[in-house]
Amino acid sequence: MTQQITRSELDEAVKQSPRKWVYLFSEGNAKMRELLGGKGAGVAEMTNAGLPVPPGFTITTEACNAYYEAGKHFPQGMWEQALAALKIVEQQTGKGFGKKDNPLLVSVRSGAKFSMPGMMDTVLNLGINDETVQGLVALTGDERFAYDAYRRFIQMFSKIVLDTNPQDFERVLEHYKEQAHVKTDAEIPAADLKNLVVEFKQIAEKQSGEPFPTDVYKQLEKAIEAVFSSWNNKRAIDYRNFNKIEHTLGTAVNVQSMVFGNMGSDSGTGVAFTRDPATGEKQLYGEYLLNAQGEDVVAGIRTPSKISRLQQDLPHVFQEFQDIANRLEQHYKDMQDLEFTVERGHLYMLQTRSAKRNAGAAVKVAVDMVEEGLISKQDAVKRVEPNHVYQLLLPRFDDAEKKTAEKEGRLLAKGLNASPGAAFGKAIFDADRAEELGKAGTAVVLVRPETSPDDVHGMLVAKGILTARGGATSHAAVVARGLGLPCVAGCEGIRVNEAEHLFRVVGSDMVIKEGDDISIDGATGEVFAGIIKTVEADYDKEVDLKKLLTWADAERKLGVWANADYPRDAKRAITFGAEGIGLCRTEHMFMEQERLPIVQKMILAKTTEERKAELDKLLPFQRSDFKGIFEAMVNPETGEGYPVVIRLIDPPLHEFLPSYEELLVEVTRLETKGDNPKELAEKRELLEAVGSMREMNPMLGLRGCRLGLLFPEINVMQTRAILEAARELAKEGKKLQPKIMIPLVGHVNELKEVRRQLEAVAHEIADEVGGAIEYKFGTMIELPRAALTADQIAPVADFFSFGTNDLTQTTYGYSRDDAEGKFLLRYIDGLDEPGAKQKVKILPFNPFQTLDRDGVGQLVRMAAEKGRQANPHLELGICGEHGGDPDSIEFCHMVGLDYVSCSPFRVPVARLAAAQAALTSHERDK
């Protein structure tokens, strides 16, 4: 007969409280992620779908926040609700918490709205003490199992709740294993485990200064507190900072009746994905261990078996698991990450959540699911993180270099291909050192025996991760995939010596020490000594990605253009789907070897005539540069050209001259030697000229349109080069759309004057060739004054392009180069405040990477609105680095810009991000 469960006590406890803090699994559902956390919402949904889930309840994220608000005290009524819910779990399981007969043991797990794998704390086997352990022995007839559960509990509780040093426990455990001449924990005899329990309690007592709690309710209370507190441990905070997860969400706490995977060979535990998270292949992918508890799989201490083997080990369980996996995928319409335990032949589901996956898998799964009829094209577009697309285009090892490395015997070992991508860097063996070097700009590969959440700060800055132990679902692998970092895990061919900061290669005398270069390939699992250079990915072969991006194109409103200075970049941009060039920085062309001497002479010319003579020499170079870019942007079949925005010279002229300091040294040397008066005179003259052009603050000095106003000949030459190039191609039947852009305008009169200069040149050429050449004339908006007076500027321009690099510099008053090197990263990371537990963060993110909507964004919005009002035909774009950043692209969509322009590699990212912005704004409008 099924037991009648009474919920009245829980209802009563809720009535007596200001809020419902506790939900039975049967009371929740998948939509309640915010309140119950991902894990709580997942088990609730599975419970209600009738899947075998061990009964339990969830304490809400609101309770966690209330706990902090009350100065780390449980909110009123929470504990009473938890006790009432626990009674119901006792009824559901037919067990008693703290009862000697048939004792109920529970797990206490964290679970936030967004999955933060391994960042917060969990306590298993809670409810065990000297009495209940007897009940467990009687119940299972297995003394070894019962005492093993007990010693695991003490070990875990001490680490998580009592904050004791876990190594002290490990040392004693190792000692017992040596004494008993056994290798694994599972072989320690029952009698020894009993002694271990006594010793463990003594260690805990000695370290914490109080007796180990035998009252199971005390255990529960303390474990819940510890999980709440783990929301604010360092690694969780680091993880949230990196993943831009709000710190105010709080974690839920899941209290769930335990099932045991370590009750013999018909028991086990594992984790599995419904599809392969590395490739997206539609097949169960995962690992399990027979006769083990969950932490054994995740910690990577024993090497687990592939999930497909379960078919042989426990065929019924495998079948049931596969059915459930399919049902969950169909239900959630997304690839799932599942945790399960088998207790004496019975399967229990412990968790389901949307699976983390790498870039390739994300794209393949999304496209496959559309083709399987599971989701719509729009859903697929929304599913894939734009930055994942970027990873797919990331460089891989150069084949030839790799072959050479193999020939030279530099292939050290092969581990698991845990997260794809190739990386090289200095081998570093601890996370603190990796963080220090990584932040200073050194490429670092973090090498660890295995990683734990305490290593996350080092992983965040590393280029790649290499571990000697652990499977495809070990901590290192899961975190690396989430971060999109290359990772080789479980590389058994190396022996890491943490103390000496080195690893040895098994079966050879090779040693890699701290600071030695290594290269890893997370797609193949290979580890090499030395640096192997990388090459670009083959976009043509990314069939699924191309499909996805075509679907994205159908949704987006923003055009996607590219910043490209050379025909080579322009061609690549077109391959990636760019629809125009939004910024061609012409000054790069001045820097090339054969041109620089002419440029220098032009700058140092004493008269306008001299300057013009040098500019005449530069003209053919520039004309052929522009021709190259225009040609790259013409469709060879139709002859139609995409728009190309060419910006006239921007940086201060002294950037093209030798350094003042070096010249000074040279002059002093020549003066001292006194043997070359001719060279000395020349160098002195040059020094004087360079000195006269020096500026205190070149970022705000003679640059941008100011140059062309003082030296109009430069503008004249560049305009002529652009228009003549266009004219030559037009004669070949190519339809071009040249756009000339003026940088750093602050006052409309600057723009008016440049426009007058340009129009004069255009007329001159029209007279020469007997016909006008069409072009558009526009300006960058990269100074606050330009944004504020956009209504005055717009009538003089055909287009605005927001130069948000300079606009950010000038709005904040930060010089980017100085700021990033000196204080900006500290502002973002947080400043240490004496006595404070957390660092004080000044800025939430780097405004040079993600557009600051509150400040810089307001200027963009205002300039766009004022500009359009004053000139309804005004075209609006952005060409600062933000044009390739998904969050900033969303803002550009919201403000109603016409296009974003970004580096060629970010074009696919921008296509997807623009589509997502369009799709989610539809949703918001509903």
Q: Return the active site residues.
A: 475, 879
Check residue 804 for interaction with ligand PEP (CB under 6 A).
Answer: yes
880 binds, among ligand PEP, Mg ion, none (CB under 5 to 8 A by kind): ligand PEP
- Written as six digits, the tokens of 150 are 């007990």
φ, ψ at 559 (rounded to 5°): -75, 155
d(CA 895, CA 862): 9
- Residue 583 partner contact from Mg ion, ligand PEP, none using kind-dependent CB cut-offs of 5 to 8 Å: ligand PEP
Q: Of Mg ion, ligand PEP, none, which one sits near residue 456, judging by CB under 5 to 8 A according to partner kind?
A: none
Place of tokens 């090498």: 447
Q: x/- contact string, 560-589, with ligand PEP (CB under 6 A)?
A: -----------------------x-x----
If the CB atoms of residues 449 and 855 are measured against ligand PEP, the closer one turns out to be: 855
Site track for ligand PEP across 820-859, x = CB under 6 A: ----------------------------------------
Minimum separation from the CB atom of position 650 to ligand PEP (A): 6
Q: Which is nearer to ligand PEP, 98 or 652 (CB)?
A: 652
Interface segment toward ligand PEP; rule CB under 6 A; list 167-175, 375-383, 544-552, 801-809: 801-809
Span of 149-157, 601-609, 621-629, 798-806 interacting with Mg ion by CB under 5 A:
798-806
The span from the CA of 63 to the CA of 81, in Å, is: 11
Shortest spacing between CB 804 and ligand PEP, in angstroms: 5
Catalogue the long-range contacts made by 207-214 (C-beta closer than 8 Å, 24 or more residues apart). Answer: 207/158, 207/162, 207/164, 207/165, 207/168, 208/158, 208/162, 208/163, 208/164, 212/154, 212/157, 212/158, 214/129, 214/130
Using CB under 6 A, which residues numbered 100 to 119 contact ligand PEP? Answer: none
Q: Which of 782, 852, 875, 885 binds ligand PEP (CB under 6 A)?
A: 782
**Of residues 583 and 618, the one with the C-beta less far from ligand PEP:** 583
Which of 855, 767, 874, 866 lies closest to 810, judged by CA? 855
Q: Which one, of 720, 765, 769, lies nearest residue 740 by Cα?
A: 720
Q: Which of 37, 471, 486, 803 binds Mg ion (CB under 5 A)?
A: 803
Read off the tokens for 263. 């009750």
- The stretch among 16-24, 203-211, 803-811, 827-835 that binds ligand PEP (CB under 6 A) is 803-811
- If one counts every other C-beta atom within 10 angstroms of the C-beta of residue 71, the result is 6
- Which of 806, 852, 881, 885 binds Mg ion (CB under 5 A)? It is 806
| Total number of residues that touch ligand PEP (CB under 6 A) | 10
621: CB partners within 8 A, 6+ apart: 589, 594, 595
Q: Which is nearer to ligand PEP, 410 or 703 (CB)?
A: 703
Closer of 320 and 650 to ligand PEP (Cβ): 650
* Residue among 534 and 903 whose Cβ is closer to ligand PEP: 903
Q: Determine the residue with CB nearest Mg ion.
A: 806
Q: How many Å separate Cα 859 from the centre of its chain?
A: 28
Q: Which residues contact 57 (CB under 8 A, 6 or more apart)?
A: 22, 23, 24, 25, 82, 85, 86, 88, 89, 254, 255, 256
**Interacting span for ligand PEP (CB under 6 A) from 138-146, 326-334, 377-385, 800-808:** 800-808
- Min dist CB 901 to Mg ion, Å, is 13
Binding residue for ligand PEP (CB under 6 A) from 232, 524, 805, 815?
805
* Residue 730 CA to its chain's centroid (Å): 45
Report the residue number, 521 or 650, with the smaller CB distance to ligand PEP: 650
In DSSP terms, which residues pair with 488 in a beta bridge? 417, 466
Residue 333: DSSP 8-state: T
Q: Which of 879, 902, 907, 917 binds ligand PEP (CB under 6 A)?
A: 879
Our finding on whether 652 is near Mg ion (CB under 5 A) is: no
How far apart, in whole angstroms, are the C-alpha atoms of residue 692 and residue 653?
Answer: 11
Stretch that binds Mg ion, among 169-177, 214-222, 283-291, 780-788 (CB under 5 A): 780-788
DSSP letter string, 38-106: HHHHHHHHHHHTT-----EEEE-HHHHHHHHHTTS-PPTTHHHHHHHHHHHHHHHHT-EET-SSSEE-E
Spatial separation of the C-alpha atoms in residues 798 and 782, rounded to whole Å: 16
Cα–Cα dist 224/126, whole Å: 11
Burial class (CB in 10 A: 0-12, 13-18, 19+), 830: middle
Using CA atoms, how far apart are residues 919 and 926, in angstroms rounded to an integer? 11
585 interface partner picked from ligand PEP, Mg ion, none, CB below 5 to 8 A per type = ligand PEP
Q: How far apart are CA 663 and CA 654, in angstroms?
A: 13
Q: Which does 879 bind (CB under 5 to 8 A by kind): Mg ion, ligand PEP, none?
A: ligand PEP
Stretch that binds ligand PEP, among 2-10, 29-37, 41-49, 797-805 (CB under 6 A): 797-805
Q: Please, what is the end-to-end C-alpha distance for the chain in angstroms?
A: 49
Which of 438, 880, 884, 904 is close enough to bind ligand PEP by CB under 6 A?
880
Contact residues for ligand PEP, defined by CB under 6 A: 583, 585, 650, 782, 803-806, 879-880
Contact residues for Mg ion, defined by CB under 5 A: 782, 803, 806
